[in-house]
Amino acid sequence: MLTSGQLAQRCHTSIRTVQYYDQKGLLHAKRTPSNRRAYDEKDLLRLQQIITYRKLGFKLKDIQRLIENKQTAHVLSSLIDKQTNLLQQQLHQTKSQLEGLKYLKKQLNSMDNFSTKLQEEVLSSMNMTKELHHLRLKLVVWGLIVDILLWGSLIYVVYQGTSIWWFILGFIFSLIICGKITYSYYQHSLYLCPHCHSEFVPLFREWILAVHTPNMKKLTCPHCQQKNFCIEEYR
Ligand SMILES: [Zn+2]
């Protein structure tokens, strides 16, 4: 059996941390006859798992689910996805803050004092992330409307035995909405080249065919001619 101190030492952490996880119900200490906490090898393994998950940024309640759940692979996979999304959002936020700082520095070099206008510009460049988020949300909602329209008209035709033209009409409307939302997304996006740090708007044809991730698209920068994954921004 191990004492709190020995367990902490084996996991390169503090006694306070061990006690904290114990209080939170993540570790289950046994009691010695003298009423001191005692841990076995299973607890050691458990604490190592907790520390690893903590380093990956998981919340305590998620860690609890991970180590208690028998179907760990499935739970872990969905929690990893959740954590990846969260970190990507944070990364994007950090990048836009860095852009704000870079812009501020550039302006300071050419200006003597820190004008109100400048502050506004820096803030607006950081707020772009929020606007981009709203835009994406709007697209998701419109996407749902298209789905309902398309499936609704199909179900209507199949179950009511009405004319196929209702479905064709639904299909045409869906196409129009899809076209409109795609173009509206294009009109509001701007890309930052990671190579020369300039911002640009790609041609629609290149934009629509480009490989992409949730926050980036693989585009050719018109300034340095390099093809890279470029960070999406709001314009
Ligand atoms: Zn470039």
- Taking residue 164's Cβ as centre, other Cβ atoms within 10 Å add up to 11
CA nearest to 232, candidates 220, 211, 217: 217
How far is 150 from 18, CA to CA, in rounded Å? 56
Helix residue ranges, H only, the chain? 4-10, 15-23, 41-55, 60-68, 72-109, 116-160, 165-187, 204-209
pLDDT tens digit string along 32-44? 888 888 999 999 9
How far is 221 from 33, CA to CA, in rounded Å? 71
CATH class of the region 4-68? mainly alpha
Alpha carbon of 4 to ligand 1 centroid (Å) = 55
Alpha carbon of 95 to ligand 1 centroid (Å) = 17
Alpha carbon of 201 to ligand 1 centroid (Å) = 12
* Kind plus residue range of the DSSP H or E element containing 191: strand 189-192
Alpha carbon of 192 to ligand 1 centroid (Å) = 8
- Work out the mean pLDDT of the chain and round it to a whole number: 84
Q: Copy the structure tokens of residue 129.
A: 């992330």
The stretch 14-26 carries a mean pLDDT of 92
Ordered by start, the domain boundaries in the chain are: 4-68, 127-234
Alpha carbon of 184 to ligand 1 centroid (Å) = 24
Alpha carbon of 78 to ligand 1 centroid (Å) = 36
- Distances in Å between the Cα of 207 and the Cα atoms of 110, 141, 203, 222 are 34, 22, 6, 13
What is the identity of the amino acid at 168?
Answer: I
The answer on pLDDT for 73 being more than 60 is: yes
Alpha carbon of 45 to ligand 1 centroid (Å) = 48
Q: How confident is the model at residue 88 (pLDDT cuts 50, 70, 90)?
A: confident
How far is 233 from 127, CA to CA, in rounded Å? 10
Alpha carbon of 216 to ligand 1 centroid (Å) = 14
Alpha carbon of 211 to ligand 1 centroid (Å) = 17
Alpha carbon of 230 to ligand 1 centroid (Å) = 9
> Which pLDDT does position 76 carry in this prediction?
76
pLDDT tens digit string along 141-195? 888 888 888 888 888 888 888 888 888 888 898 889 888 888 888 998 888 887 8
pLDDT tens digit string along 97-147? 888 888 777 776 665 555 565 566 666 666 666 777 788 788 888 888 888
Alpha carbon of 38 to ligand 1 centroid (Å) = 60
Alpha carbon of 200 to ligand 1 centroid (Å) = 9
> Which pLDDT does position 103 carry in this prediction?
77
Alpha carbon of 206 to ligand 1 centroid (Å) = 16
Q: Is 229 helix (H, G, I), strand (E, B) or coil?
A: strand
Q: How confident is the model at residue 86 (pLDDT cuts 50, 70, 90)?
A: confident
Regarding predicted confidence, which is higher, 215 or 179?
179
CA nearest to 189, candidates 132, 125, 234: 234
